[in-house]
Amino acid sequence: MRLTLHVWRQKSASDPGRMIQYEARNVNPDMSFLEMLDVVNEELTVKGEDPIAFDSDCREGICGMCGFVINGVAHGPRRGTTVCQLHMRKFKDGDVLYLEPWRARAFPVIKDLVVDRGAFDRVIAAGGYISVPAGSAPDGNAIQVPKQNADLAMDAAACIGCGACVAACPNASASLFTAAKITHLGVLPQGQPERADRAMRMVAQAAAEGFGSCTNIGECEAVCPKEIKLEVIARMNRDFIKAAWTNRGTSSATGGAG
C-alpha cells in the first residue's frame, strides 16, 4: 500500500508552520497508524530530514498521549479508536491524508503534531478529586455502591484526557472532558460532600483556560475514543446550576456551565 501524507510541520510555538507532502511507501495493512509514521520518520532520518514530531506512549489506546486530526477528524476515521489503535487496513492504496495537530486556543502547538494540554491538568487540580488523605479511609465494603452507579461512574471515568473532544468542537469547549470527571465522582456516594464545589470550580477553571462553551453540537461525542456520552454534560450542567443556585460553592464561578 502507498499513501500520500500532507503533514503539518511547525518548528516551535512561534513558528507559523505549514503543510508538507510526504510519500509513505510499503505500508503494511497490519501496521498501526503510528507505526506507519515511525517508518516514514526512519526514512526521513536516513535522508537527513527532520522527523515528524508526534506524541505517543502506551500505544494501546489508554494513556491519552497520542492524537491528531486525520482528514478533518480527530483520531481519524474509526469510531471509538485512538490513532495509536487505528490500523492501516482501514485505508486504501493511494489514499491522500492530511494530518494536523489539535487546534484550540487552550492547546498551543509545541512542535508539528504535538500540543500542550496542560490546561486539562489544571481543570482537574481545580476540583476533580475526592479529598481523602492516605490512611483515613473506612473499610472498602463499608461504602456500598449500587452496581448501576458503579457502572455509570466507570463509563465516565474511562476518559483518557486525550483532548479529541476539544479539537472536534467548533467552540473548542472542554465540556465533555470536564463533565466526565464531574459525573464519575458525582454519581458515587464518596463524591457527594464536594459535589457542588467541584462543579463550580472545575467549570470556572475550564473557562479561565480559554476553552469555549458548549452549544450542544455533539462533535465531541462522535470523536471520543472512549465513547463518553453527551449525557454527562447534562449532569454537569445540573450540578453546576444547582450549586450556583444554592450558592454552596465557595469559589466564585466565572463563565457558564460549559
Partner 1 sequence: MELNSNLPTGPIESAWDRARFEMKLVNPANKRKYNIIVVGSGLAGASAAATLAELGYNIQCFCFQDSPRRAHSIAAQGGINAAKNYQNDGDSIFRLFYDTVKGGDFRSREANVYRLAQISVNIIDQCVAQGVPFAREYGGTLANRSFGGAQVSRTFYARGQTGQQLLLGAYQALERQVGAGQVKMLPRTEMLSLVLVEGKARGIVTRNLITGKIESYAADAVVLATGGYGNVYNLSTNARGSNCTAIWRAYKHGAAFANPCFTQIHPTCIPVSGEYQSKLTLMSESLRNDGRIWVPKTCGDKRPPVQIPEPERDYYLERRYPSFGNLVPRDVASRNAKAVCDEGRGVGETALGVYLDFSDAIQRLGASGIRERYGNLFDMYERITGEDPYKVPMRIYPAIHYTMGGLWVDYQLMSTIPGLFVAGEANFSDHGANRLGASALMQGLADGYFILPYTLGNYLASTKLDKVQTDYAEFRREEAEVAAMTKQLLAIKGKRTVASFHRELGKLLWDHCGMSRTAKGLQLAVTKIRELREEFWTNVDVLGRDNEMNQALEHAGRVADFLELAELIAIDALHRDESCGGHFREEYQTPDGEAQRDDEHYSYAAAWEFRGLDQPPELHKEPLQFEYVHPTQRSYK
Q: Is 57 in the site for ligand FES (CB under 6 A)?
A: yes
> Could you tell me which stretch among 38-46, 54-62, 150-158, 243-251 binds ligand FES (CB under 6 A)?
54-62
Tell me which residues in 178-217 interact with partner 1 (CB under 8 A). 184-185, 188, 190-191
Helix axes 195-208, 175-186, angle to 10 degrees: 170
Q: Which is nearer to ligand FES, 39 or 208 (CB)?
A: 39
Query: Can you name the residues that pair with 70 across neighbouring β-strands?
Result: 73, 99
Q: Is 94 in the site for partner 1 (CB under 8 A)?
A: no
Opening angle at CA 161, ends 16 and 54, nearest 5: 40
Q: Which is nearer to partner 1, 89 or 248 (CB)?
A: 89
Tell me which residues in 215-244 interact with partner 1 (CB under 8 A). none
Place of cell 467552540: 171
Q: Are 107 and 166 in contact (CB under 8 A)?
A: yes
Which residue in 39, 44, 53, 63 binds ligand FES (CB under 6 A)? 63
Q: Are 156 and 183 in contact (CB under 8 A)?
A: yes
Number of residues that bind ligand FES (CB under 6 A): 12
Interface mask toward partner 1 for 112-131; x: CB under 8 A? --x-xxx-xx--xxxxxxxx
Q: Are 126 and 67 in contact (CB under 8 A)?
A: no
